């Protein structure tokens, strides 16, 4: 299995991503690190532990990390994810606790101890990952890639041009994109394109597996189209962050271009926008700015089947 670390702000779709990653045989989840985003850090940690417990994976170490972005204050998305971040579903009681070290330390230690480079699947504002790269730049060769859900080529979700994770901590996104570590941007275009329909959701909710049933309930909540601004067909639910996990499991279902990505940092109505240079979509030659892969399209049915098949 491919060694991975997930960085999350659990969140409905982070929960879907955790359920898939924690149970899929082709991934070995070495650690899960938490950042404030969809809800407060404390709620993110609680949700993450509860979801991993439902997946039967309370063996995976979980660490609490950044309580807010590098600059400014946390601004949550509970209007999309429910007050508890998990569609107001109460998870079964669990005995899990976070490890006694900061997320950045768990990331560093996990990477140091890894025998082969590890893929980081980043599904939250990039605060923890930026802090890691600033504090411990020597870990860079131990990171195979950072596959992150964030940004958009076109329309945003929090603002006309900005996607939530990048908008919440634009400086962190800029640090990561400028770090020299290979990155794959799974932005809002594939985020909303990989969906589950009614049949898929019913297959999950009627499963004998607790992880599948939880996934079905979470997806059912999303069919109401909260925060999607008409980007998902009525009755369908976006896999969201879970699509980013699919991208690591089955990259053949993606259309990817190599393009430079910048982040708008100036105050005002463009702050947090990702500027994807679609004029030049071949990898940069040595000496030119770092090129990064950007997902432009995804095979929807393939990811729906991957997700439903893995969980039920
Ligand atoms: C991203 O922001 C969060 O609300 C979701 O979990 C996802 O990571 C989408 O903009
Ligand atoms: Ca997320």
CB of 170 closer than 6 angstroms to any ligand 1 atom: no
Mean pLDDT of 122-142: 98
Q: Do strands 118-122 and 143-149 pair parallel, antiparallel, or not at all (unpaired)?
A: parallel
Find the mean pLDDT for residues 131-154: 97
The mean per-residue pLDDT over the stretch 248-258 comes to 91
Cβ neighbors of 44 (< 8 A, separation 6 or more) are 8, 9, 10, 11, 34, 35, 36, 37, 38, 64, 85, 124
Task: Please give the pLDDT value at position 228.
Answer: 72
Report which DSSP code applies to 91: P
Taking the centre of ligand 1 as the mean of its atom positions, its distance from the CA of residue 151, in whole angstroms, is 10
Mutate to test the pocket of ligand 1, among 6, 8, 19, 38 (most ligand atoms within 8 A of CB): 38
Residue 130 main-chain phi, psi, to 5 deg: -65, -45
pLDDT bracket for residue 288 (50, 70, 90): very low
pLDDT at 283 over 60: no
Distance of CA 241 from the midpoint of ligand 1 (Å): 7
290 has a pLDDT exceeding 50: no
Ligand index nearest the alpha carbon of residue 157: 1
Q: What is the pLDDT of residue 289?
A: 43
C-beta of 10 in contact with ligand 1 (< 6 A)? no
pLDDT of residue 210 exceeding 90, the answer is yes
- The band of 225, judged by pLDDT with boundaries at 50, 70 and 90, is confident
pLDDT tens digit sequence for 171-180 = 999 999 999 9
For 90-126, what is each residue's pLDDT tens digit?
Answer: 999 999 999 999 999 999 999 999 999 999 999 999 9
What is the value of ipTM here, to two decimals? 0.98
DSSP codes, 276-311: E-TT--SPPPTTSPPPEEEEEEE-HHHHHHHHHHHH
Residues pairing with 65 in the sheet: none
pTM: 0.96
Q: What is the pLDDT of residue 273?
A: 98
Residues 159-207: tens digit of each pLDDT: 999 999 999 999 999 999 999 999 999 999 999 999 999 999 999 999 9
Nearest-CA neighbor of 222 among 200, 247, 255? Answer: 200
pLDDT in tens, 3-26: 999 999 999 999 999 999 999 999
pLDDT of residue 227: 62
Report the DSSP pairing between strands 195-196 and 27-34.
unpaired
CA of 162 to the centre of ligand 2 (A): 15
Q: What is the pLDDT of residue 81?
A: 86
Atom 7 of ligand 1: nearest residue by CA position: 241
Cβ neighbours around 5 below 10 Å, total: 27
Q: What is the mean pLDDT of the chain?
A: 93
The conformational region for residue 129 under phi > 0 = left, psi -120 to 50 = alpha, else beta, is alpha
| Local structure of residue 5 (DSSP, 8 states) | E
Ligand nearest the Cα atom of residue 8: 2
Residue 282: which pLDDT band, with cuts at 50, 70 and 90? low
What is the mean pLDDT of the segment spanning 249-258? Answer: 91
CA distance 166 to 126: 7
Q: What is the pLDDT of residue 76?
A: 84
Ligand 2 geometric centre to CA of 37 (Å): 7
Question: Ligand 1 in contact with 15 (CB < 6 A)?
Answer: no
Across the range 35-50, mean pLDDT stands at 97
Question: Residue 167: enclosing H or E segment and its boundaries?
Answer: helix 164-168
For ligand 1, whether the C-beta of 165 sits within 6 Å is yes
User: Atom 4, ligand 1: which residue's CA is nearest?
Assistant: 38
Across the strands, what pairs with 62?
32
The per-residue pLDDT for 182 is 93
pLDDT of residue 226 exceeding 90? no
């Amino acid at each position: 299995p491919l060694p991975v670390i997930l960085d999350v702000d659990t969140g409905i779709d982070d929960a879907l991503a955790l359920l898939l990653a924690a149970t899929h045989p082709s991934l070995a989840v070495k650690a899960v690190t938490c950042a404030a985003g969809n809800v407060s850090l404390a709620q993110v940690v609680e949700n993450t532990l509860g979801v991993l417990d439902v997946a039967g994976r309370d063996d995976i170490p979980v660490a609490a990390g950044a309580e807010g972005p590098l600059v400014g204050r946390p601004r949550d998305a509970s209007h999309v994810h429910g007050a508890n971040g998990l569609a107001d579903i109460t998870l079964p009681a669990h005995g899990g606790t976070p490890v006694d070290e900061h997320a950045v330390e768990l990331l560093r230690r996990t990477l140091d101890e890894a025998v082969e480079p590890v893929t980081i699947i980043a599904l939250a504002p990039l605060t923890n990952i930026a802090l890691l790269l600033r504090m411990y730049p020597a870990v860079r060769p131990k990171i195979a890639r950072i596959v992150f859900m964030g940004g958009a080529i076109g329309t945003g979700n929090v603002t006309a041009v900005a996607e939530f994770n990048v908008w919440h901590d634009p400086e962190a996104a800029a640090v990561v994109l400028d770090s020299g570590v290979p990155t794959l941007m799974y932005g809002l275009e594939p985020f909303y394109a990989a969906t589950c329909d009614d049949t898929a959701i019913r297959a999950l909710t009627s499963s004998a597996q607790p992880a599948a049933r939880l996934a079905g309930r979470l997806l059912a909540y999303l069919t109401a189209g909260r925060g999607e601004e008409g980007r998902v067909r009525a009755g369908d639910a976006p896999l969201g962050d879970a699509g980013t996990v699919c991208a690591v499991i089955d990259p053949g279902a993606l259309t990817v271009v190599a393009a430079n990505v910048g982040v708008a940092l100036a105050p005002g109505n463009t702050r947090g926008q990702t500027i994807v240079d679609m004029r030049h979509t071949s990898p940069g030659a040595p000496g030119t700015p770092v090129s990064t892969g950007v997902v432009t399209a995804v095979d929807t049915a393939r990811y729906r089947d991957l997700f439903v098949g893995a969980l039920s």
